[in-house]
């Protein structure tokens, strides 16, 4: 059997990871400024993470959600405390798309309505409701019937949102506080606060998609916390498990749970909880959010000196470097010549920087010096 060929691949085969580095089959070392697409939060093969998962798999890897699992309770308590969202309730699942799927379903159950408002360039995942709320027709199949269920609006236009919500058929507004795949654009604080007010006025559920921006990556636990708002639902995944598949839906206590309303076989299993608990423990003990802020400030200060850089977007360690031209050749030279992984986005001129949150200043120096060489080689 062959693989279903849906991914254009770089010709690199990572076999081992350690901290902010990955190593290929020949032992070649690569600096990871991509974090496996914003997934690696506490670094590759962190000893606490390896120990917690090893210990757990030796005891019990999985059992069903029909029995008690105290690890889920411990995870909910710890996540509530570290994120300052203690009053929310947690539903555990396996991925970002699944988290958004459940959030949208919950909003629809709660309001008994079905239209969704999402935003231009949004990416919310590839399952049914999540992909319908994703502004990319190419990944929506006819079965997802995007246009009958989602309306895409521009950021920062409250009057357009007010106009749409006034129809009275909307269950949810879903928004990324910093767009990931879309290219690091952000709504303003004024807009986000206005969205919250309008959602309250029209009894619409406000979902903050923190799948990429959450877990400290923006310099606060959640990126919406830069804007003083209180979402009805928050979705998380990526950095939550540092690579172990886990997602979560943080649900305001206003939503009433009913048996059978949501469910999953694998979500919140013992092994996933052990991974997620290790991640939170490391974020707390190693003060990684402070590190994000310190390294981010250092990066921004130094990156500003690059003459061909048009714009620096994003926050914390979720950054985008925008150039005048397509960055694909820059990324290729960085990976093949300089042995540095970086990310791309739907904005072809944007280099995405999504390193493990443990990264240090000397790694940033290595990257920026290498990038300057590459830009010089390419006469940029």
Ligand X SMILES: Cc1ncc(COP(=O)(O)O)c(C=O)c1O
The binder of ligand X chosen from 17, 35, 43, 96 (CB under 6 A): 96
216 sits near ligand X (criterion: CB under 6 A)? no
Contact region with ligand X (CB under 6 A), list: 145-153, 157-165, 173-181, 195-203: 173-181
Question: In this structure, what DSSP letter does residue 116 have?
Answer: E
Asked if 250 interacts with ligand X (CB under 6 A), we say no
User: Strand 205-209 and strand 170-175: pairing?
Assistant: parallel
For the CB of residue 101, give the shortest distance to ligand X in the complex, in Å: 9
Q: Coil, strand, or helix at residue 29? A: strand
Shortest spacing between CB 304 and ligand X, in angstroms? 26
Instruction: List, as one string, the DSSP characters of 151-207.
Output: EEE-TT-HHHHHHHHTTS-EEEEEE-SS-TTTTS----HHHHHHHHHHHHHHT-EEE
Applying CB under 6 A, the site for ligand X has a residue count of: 14
Contact between 176 and ligand X by CB under 6 A: the answer reads yes
Contact between 180 and ligand X per CB under 6 A: yes
Nearer to ligand X, 31 or 354 (CB): 354
- As a whole number of angstroms, the longest Cα–Cα distance in the chain is 62
What is the C-alpha separation between 29 and 23, in angstroms, rounded? 5
Compute the distance between CA of residue 326 and CA of residue 8 in angstroms, rounded to an integer: 17
220 binds ligand X (CB under 6 A): no
User: Does residue 237 interact with ligand X by CB under 6 A?
Assistant: yes
Which of 164, 186, 209, 333: binder of ligand X (CB under 6 A)?
209
Region near ligand X per CB under 6 A, out of 119-127, 161-169, 316-324, 359-367:
119-127
User: Residue 171 has which token pair?
Assistant: 């269950």
Burial class (CB in 10 A: 0-12, 13-18, 19+), 3: exposed
95 binding ligand X? (CB under 6 A): yes
Per CB under 6 A, which region of 209-217, 300-308, 343-351, 362-370 contacts ligand X? Answer: 209-217
User: What gap in Å lies between CA 76 and CA 61, rounded to an integer?
Assistant: 19
Nearer to ligand X, 232 or 333 (CB): 232
Query: Measured from the CB of residue 32, what is the shortest distance to ligand X in angstroms?
Result: 17
- How far apart CA 42 and CA 149 sit, in angstroms, is 37
Q: Residue 218 CB, nearest distance to ligand X (Å)?
A: 12
Looking at the chain, how many residues does it have? 380
Q: Where do contacts with ligand X occur on this chain (CB under 6 A)? A: 95-97, 100, 123-125, 176, 180-181, 209, 211-212, 237
């Amino acid at each position: 059997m062959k693989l279903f060929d849906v991914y254009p691949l770089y010709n690199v085969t990572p076999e081992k990871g350690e901290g902010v580095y990955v190593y290929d089959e020949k032992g070649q070392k690569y600096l990871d400024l991509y974090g496996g697409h914003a997934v690696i939060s506490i670094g590759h093969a962190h000893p606490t993470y390896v120990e917690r998962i090893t210990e757990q798999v030796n005891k019990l890897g999985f059992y069903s959600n029909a029995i008690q699992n105290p690890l889920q309770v411990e995870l909910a308590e710890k996540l509530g405390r570290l994120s300052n969202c203690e009053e929310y309730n947690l539903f555990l699942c396996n991925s970002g798309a699944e988290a958004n799927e459940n959030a949208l379903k919950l909003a629809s159950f709660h309001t008994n309505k079905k239209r969704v408002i999402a935003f231009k360039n949004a990416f919310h995942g590839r399952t049914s409701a999540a992909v319908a709320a994703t502004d990319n027709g190419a990944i929506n199949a006819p079965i997802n019937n995007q246009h009958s269920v989602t309306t895409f609006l521009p950021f920062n236009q409250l009057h357009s949102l007010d106009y749409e919500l006034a129809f009275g058929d909307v269950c949810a507004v879903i928004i990324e506080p910093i767009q990931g795949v879309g290219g690091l654009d952000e709504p303003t604080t004024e807009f986000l606060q206005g969205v919250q007010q309008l959602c309250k006025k029209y009894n619409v559920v406000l979902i903050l998609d923190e799948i990429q921006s959450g877990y400290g990556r923006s310099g606060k636990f959640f990126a919406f916390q830069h804007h003083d708002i209180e979402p009805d639902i928050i979705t998380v995944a990526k950095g939550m498990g540092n690579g172990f598949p886990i997602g979560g839906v943080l649900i305001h206590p206003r939503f009433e749970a009913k048996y059978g309303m949501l469910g999953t076989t694998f979500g919140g299993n013992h092994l996933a909880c052990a991974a997620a608990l290790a991640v939170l423990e490391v974020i707390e003990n190693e003060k990684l959010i402070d590190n994000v802020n310190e390294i981010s400030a250092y990066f921004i200060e130094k990156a500003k000196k690059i003459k061909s850089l048009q714009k620096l977007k994003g926050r914390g360690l979720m950054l985008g470097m925008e150039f005048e031209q397509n960055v694909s050749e820059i990324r290729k030279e960085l990976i093949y010549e300089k042995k540095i992984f970086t990310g791309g986005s739907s904005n072809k001129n944007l280099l995405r920087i999504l390193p493990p949150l443990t990264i240090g200043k000397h790694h940033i120096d290595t990257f920026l010096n290498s990038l300057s060489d590459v830009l010089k080689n390419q006469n940029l």
